[in-house]
Amino acid sequence: MLTGWRILLVEDEALVAYLLEDMLADVGCTVVGLAARVDQALELIRTIPIDAAVLDVCLDNEFSYPIADALLARGIPFMFSTGYARDRLRDGYKGFPMLQKPYHPRELEKILTTLLPTIDALPATSNAAALIR
């Protein structure tokens, strides 16, 4: 079901990024962009096709909220990934899907399945639709 989905992964811890990349591959997704900083992620959003994103909330000394805003402006779904409790997220972001550390593959797949649109909702010209059809 998730085969062919292009994921932007935003994570500043290399080992965690590799773990998430493997977990995403296991459920059929492809990480098409990996960013450790807000500016890197914003550049990737502007330059590569993305179906969804996984955003670590805290990136070194900055938060990923500007990335979330850019994704929202483009209609790209995302989830936060964090060790924080939901109530530690800023107001306005608490209602978005969240993958809690420690990560579990089934939970990642479950969130992605609800996050990504069904094939019937995709335009016939979308790359993801072409892969699935």
Q: Mind listing the pLDDT tens digit for each residue in 17-36? A: 999 999 999 999 999 999 99
What per-residue confidence (pLDDT) applies to 87?
A: 83
pTM greater than the 0.75 cutoff: yes
Q: Return the CATH class of domain 6-123.
A: alpha beta
pLDDT band of residue 129 (cuts 50, 70, 90) is very low
Q: Where are the domains of the chain?
A: 6-123
Q: In three state form, how does the secondary structure of 79-109 look?
A: EEEECCCHHHCCCCCCCCCEEECCCCHHHHH
Q: Rounded to an integer, what distance in angstroms lies between the CA atom of residue 131 and that of residue 119? A: 10
pLDDT, one tens digit per residue, over 46-104 is 999 999 999 999 999 999 999 999 999 999 999 999 988 888 889 999 989 999 988 99
pLDDT band of residue 127 (cuts 50, 70, 90) is very low
